Chain A
């Protein structure tokens, strides 16, 4: 049971906080007084300049995507690094490995070629029109 106590507390706290916040706002907020200005997101702030759903260049997504891809690929470096540094593990998971470095090199070369492709396709050139 002890193991679950933090979880229970966490859940309780979450529920309490949510209901309290809602309850307080319902209590303190003045209902019935609604008009256009009241309903704008920033009642007392700057006038709205443009629509919230601004259109980004599609490049933004592509670069974001590329970041994720290269980022995720690096994940494989962890098991490699662990097994490279830990010969016990290396024997356990990948017995008979004499080529660990070469394997990593091949992996990086392929990633590098991917990067060359990306650069050559001009994806990272920001100033060009999409």
Chain B
């Protein structure tokens, strides 16, 4: 059997991305959704790093750093919002956020 090629990494990254996507769509708890989103981002990171190796330049790796940083910022804000949601609506599931509609 052949070596592990870029394609394999990409398939893996797609799978991680898909798992994250699945979690985002099916989960109810906002914290878990957040985790799933991180999973999606990490799937992408994997793809970036794999492509970085494939092309022999470091752009993909640098991109990954940015993604990590942005993801951290997003997570910080998200947790703050979730805490605030918990204070106002006494819960952290998405069912707490269904007032705006129509």
B69 at the interface (CB under 8 A from A): yes
Residues of B within 8 A of A89 (CB): 58
Indicate with 1 or 0, residue by residue over B41-79, a CB within 8 angstroms of chain A CB atoms.
000000000000000011101100100110011011001
Closest to A78 in B: B65
By size class, the interface of chain A is: 10 to 19
B contact residues vs A (CB 8 Å cutoff): 1, 3-4, 57-59, 61-62, 65, 68-69, 72-73, 75-76, 79-80, 83
Given contacts A65-B75, A69-B72, A93-B62, 18 further A-B contacts (CB under 8 A): A1-B1, A3-B4, A61-B83, A65-B79, A65-B80, A68-B76, A69-B73, A69-B76, A75-B65, A75-B68, A75-B69, A76-B65, A76-B69, A78-B65, A79-B61, A79-B65, A92-B58, A93-B58
